[in-house]
Chain A
Amino acid sequence: MKIAVLIKQVPDTDEVKMDPEKGTMIRDGVGSLINPLDLNALEAALFLKGERGGTVTVLSMGPPQAERALREGLALGADRAHLLSDRAFAGADTWATAKVLATLLEKTGPYDLVLAGEKATDGETGQVGPEVATLLGLPFATYVSRLSATDGGLEVRRTVEEGYQRLRLPYPCLATVLHDLNEPSMPTLAGKKRGRRAEVTRWGLSDLGLEETEVGLSGSPTRVVRIAHPKITRQTAFYGARDLDRGIAHVVALLKEKALLQGGGQA
């Protein structure tokens, strides 16, 4: 089974501190790591490889430093790694990102299965997976919390608002996965060594055979008009041990004001 995993390098939010003045995240000096849900996708890919044989390829689009995330993927057990890095790719929205990733999957494939995290912790759009699948004409499933590979296709369980939906998708297909799919492993020492040495193939615009107008900012249908850093200021009413009665009365008054105490009354 040939499996591709799409990974994204994101800022390490564990290290992110809040700027108390501006109410923004301080990103300077913050490390980066593989988007947590992408690790679940990689773990699933490695599991399937163990079960059914084959190869796992990790792919990422990003600045040259994103190579680190790919090396981490190699350290965890991926066989091959491809990095899409070109100044022309900068400023891509989800459409332009999906376009480039889909093209690379075509160039390096064919794959039986493409896996990705449901969303990234920085952009949080969850759009790239479905867009890649659709550009490649692949059937896909999102919000996958369980998956197994059978000869007849990939069987998945999607976690949705009302419960679960179970699907069988024929190969080739794409799935985006959730955190409760599995428990990602840590790299071994031998893995880390391999990750440092293994080759990461670099791809630029000309290698993909795409036009400059199809990628990056110029290939993006959406434009950011402005970015605001809202300072969420709340006047905190603080009630300590001796004021708890007043504090509770304050909460009840708030509930009343918001008309949240009207229902039923079957107390």
Chain B
Amino acid sequence: MRTERNGLGGVFVVAEVRRSGIHSCTLELVSKARELADARGREVTAIVLRSPSEEPVEPLFRHGADRILLVEDERLGSLNAEVHSRIVAHLIGKGDAEIVLAPATTTGRTLLPAVAALIHTGLTADCTGLEIDAETGLLLQTRPAIGGNVIATIKTPDHLPQMATVRPKTFPVAPPQDRLGRVERPLLDESLFCTSVVCLGEESVEGEEVDIQGLDVIVSGGKGLKRPEGFRLLQELADLLEGAVGASRPTVEAKWISYPHQVGLSGKVVAPRIYLAAGISGAVQHLAGMQTAETIIAVNKDPEAPLFRVADVALCGDLYEILPRLIDAIRREKEERHD
């Protein structure tokens, strides 16, 4: 509570550490944290919990961190909600954090609620906007609700720290600066690692990009594909644009594609720079997952398709005619650039 804490420790970011290393959404948060900390005249601290690794942490300094709290331990290689949340709660408490941010990934959305419960403070999920209120100095947290139809602004007036999870790709990564900071390796009490949960194993889903949320381009298909092979065409287009393939629910239910690709109310909420939907009608449940995309392109043979109403570009016709032509046009454009 505010009475026991005063928040002089500034803005803390919980780094997203994956098997491949520190994920780029961490840099987005560090960049935003820098902005917030400057507005408050405070420091930015990044918390990195991982198994011993050679990966340098300096990029976090270049994008805005002043200090890195680095905890390396074999037992931190795989997420253990109990242990990780206890350590984060300990570090932000000891560091007297005013604001704590974590990415709204499966990890961040698991850890931060547990941290909030441990230290009794508020938490706002999936924020798409963060700013310091000039009058009160409080963090104003903006989040979409009910599938982006309502935007709520939330604050945590009487508790510290003020905590939020933030969707990846919400904030840009700031240009790198020539700056350094301090790496501290806090010594942690053995009791923090105490757990009764056993990790039985981890599997990557082979040959499949399951994480569609972090990409600039998503190319989605719906029932209008008519057959599962249609997704190959979409994959071809997605590969050209270094994007991911998304899907409407019926195609997932028909097992044309796996669940991690599902966009919508009961799937993923995405906000890519380009969302292309082919053969998707645009039911509210689907719109709920994609209508905040920067640009929406819809391909549908039905001129009345509801998705056209939220699209920036509507291509009306048979997707099996339009998509190959679009793929050709993109190839030609890319080749020209290459010559």
Interface residues of A (CB under 8 A from B): 13-14, 16, 18, 20, 23-25, 36-37, 93-95, 98, 121-131, 133-135, 139-143, 145, 153, 155, 158-170, 178-180, 220-230, 232, 234-241, 244, 247-252, 254-256, 258, 260-265, 267
Contact = CB atoms under 8 A, between A and B. Distances in A.
A255 B20 CA distance: 29
A247 B105 CA distance: 35
A165 B78 contact: yes
B106 interface: yes
Q: In terms of DSSP, what is the predominant structure of the interface of chain B?
A: mixed
B210 A161 contact: yes
A143 B106 contact: yes
B125 A125 contact: yes
13 contacts: A18-B284, A37-B266, A127-B112, A127-B123, A127-B125, A162-B205, A163-B210, A225-B140, A228-B151, A237-B312, A258-B273, A258-B274, A261-B337
For this complex, into which size category does the number of interface residues on chain B fall? 35 or more
B51 interface: no
A123 B199 contact: no
Contacts, number: 278
Interface stretch (B3-11, B34-42, B153-161, B226-234): B153-161
A164 B157 CA distance: 38
Interface stretch (B55-63, B92-100, B321-329): B321-329
Contacts of B150: 24, 227-229
Contacts of A129: 113
B295 A124 contact: no
B120 to A, nearest CB: 7
Q: Which 4 A-B pairs have CB atoms at the shortest separation, nearest pair first?
A: A221-B122, A134-B117, A222-B122, A130-B113
A247 B153 contact: no
B311 interface: yes
A8 to B, nearest CB: 14
B241 A260 contact: yes
Given A95-B123, A142-B110, A167-B199, A267 B116 contact: no
B12 interface: no
Contact of A240 (B117, B147, B303, B321): B303
A224 B203 CA distance: 40
Contacts of B284: 13, 16, 18, 25
Nearest to A245: B325
Contacts of B292: 232
Given A127-B113, A226-B153, A221 B316 contact: no
Contacts of A130: 81, 110, 113-114, 117
Given A140-B81, A236-B308, A265-B334, A252 B109 contact: no
Given A13-B147, A167-B200, A267-B334, 20 more contacts: A18-B284, A24-B150, A25-B146, A124-B145, A131-B116, A133-B117, A140-B81, A142-B106, A166-B203, A222-B122, A222-B124, A227-B153, A228-B152, A236-B311, A238-B308, A239-B314, A252-B329, A260-B274, A264-B242, A267-B330
